[in-house]
Amino acid sequence: MAAVFLAACSTDEPAYVERPVEELYNEAVDAVDEEEYEQAADLFLEVERQHPYSIWATKAQLMSAFSYYSNGDYVDAILAVDRFIQLHPGNRDIGYAYYLKALSYYEQITDIGRDQRNTEQALASLDEVVRRFPESGYAGDARLKLDLTRDHLAGKEMEVGRYYHQRENYLAAINRYKTVIENYQTTTHVPEALHRLSEAYSALGIEPEAQANAAVLGHNFPGSEWYVDSYELVEGKPVDRDGDGEPDPKEDSGGFFSRLWPF
């Protein structure tokens, strides 16, 4: 009985059958076409396992990473790409490998209320694509995503700065706002950061710094609503935002803006 039981158990194991590499690879590609990405990844790995020294094995390594990425398995995709890069640094598709790695981090970017480690890794990976392959077809999209990633990180700094600001921890808030201005100069958060700096310095009684930051805001972003807010703050008087005759800060002729930016 024991022998029969063991024999029965052994039949439950699928027999290993070596298949032609082209057949395996084409089946994996078909799975990709049908968006059966988990099955495709397994098949590409089988190509490498059964035919490790074929040219198809190299292709299968990168295609398994693509399958993981398409299935939303970004951690597995990154691991597969890193292995491909390590084994085949001179491969003709190495640019795509770096790009796929960057995309895998980019897709894991979370809202600004959460940890931004993946955002920082996405930034580094996208920058690497642009630096290594500036003339490739991947560089243009990487540059666009770089801008969006920087804007996201700047938004996180602003969120933390506002948190400190609301709790009247102005020095900590100032450090965050300065980080935005110094490290993320091309993002959409710079006008607010300049205004918040004016608010924080004014709250600390450091009026020259408040005026200086408001002046920079007025010079560089004259059409911003944050500019109007800063004008009201440092001039100590409201601005008629409806155009009913009150002085418009953009046409200020005798205030601190014109004094600090005489051109």
Q: What's the half-sphere exposure (Cβ side, CA atoms, 13 Å) at 62?
A: 19
The predicted structure's pLDDT at residue 260: 39
- Do residues 194 and 214 make contact, with C-beta atoms less than 8 angstroms apart? yes
Q: Which amino acid is at 49?
A: R
Lowest mean pLDDT among 9-23, 99-113, 151-165, 228-242: 9-23
Report the percent of the chain where pLDDT is more than 70. 81
3-state helix, strand, coil in the chain (%, to 5): 70, 0, 30
**Residue 130 pLDDT exceeds 60:** yes
CB neighbour burial string for 47-62, b if at least 16 within 10 angstroms, e if fewer: bbebbeeeebbbbbbb
Separation of CA 74 from chain center: 14
The predicted structure's pLDDT at residue 2: 52
| Rounded (5°) CA angle 198-200-204 | 115
Average pLDDT over residues 58-72: 94
Average pLDDT over residues 177-206: 92
- Please, which pLDDT band fits residue 106 given cuts at 50, 70 and 90? very high
* Average pLDDT along the chain: 84
The predicted structure's pLDDT at residue 107: 93
Domain ranges of the chain: 189-263
Please count the residues of the chain: 263
pTM: 0.75
Lowest mean pLDDT among 77-81, 142-146, 248-252: 248-252
Q: How many CB atoms lie within 10 A of CB 94?
A: 16
| Rounded (5°) CA angle 28-30-34 | 115
User: For residues 147 and 2, what is the distance between their CA atoms, to the nearest angstrom?
Assistant: 67
Q: Which amino acid is at 54?
A: S
The predicted structure's pLDDT at residue 243: 56
| Rounded (5°) CA angle 18-23-24 | 65
The residue that leads in pLDDT, 216 or 227, is: 216
- Please, which pLDDT band fits residue 128 given cuts at 50, 70 and 90? very high
User: For residues 36 and 39, what is the distance between their CA atoms, to the nearest angstrom?
Assistant: 6
The residue that leads in pLDDT, 53 or 166, is: 166
**Residue 75 pLDDT exceeds 60:** yes
Q: Which amino acid is at 114?
A: R
| Rounded (5°) CA angle 200-238-157 | 30
The predicted structure's pLDDT at residue 239: 61
**Residue 172 pLDDT exceeds 90:** yes
Nearest to 224 by CA among 209, 207, 239: 239
Average pLDDT over residues 47-62: 89
- Do residues 194 and 213 make contact, with C-beta atoms less than 8 angstroms apart? yes
- Do residues 133 and 95 make contact, with C-beta atoms less than 8 angstroms apart? yes
Token pair listed for 87: 């084994």
- Please, which pLDDT band fits residue 63 given cuts at 50, 70 and 90? very high
Q: How does pLDDT run across 138-167, given as a tens digit for each residue?
A: 999 999 999 999 999 999 999 999 999 999
Token pair listed for 197: 């700096």
CB within 8 A of 143, min separation 6: which ones?
Answer: 126, 130
CA distances from 14 to 9, 11, 47 (A): 11, 7, 17
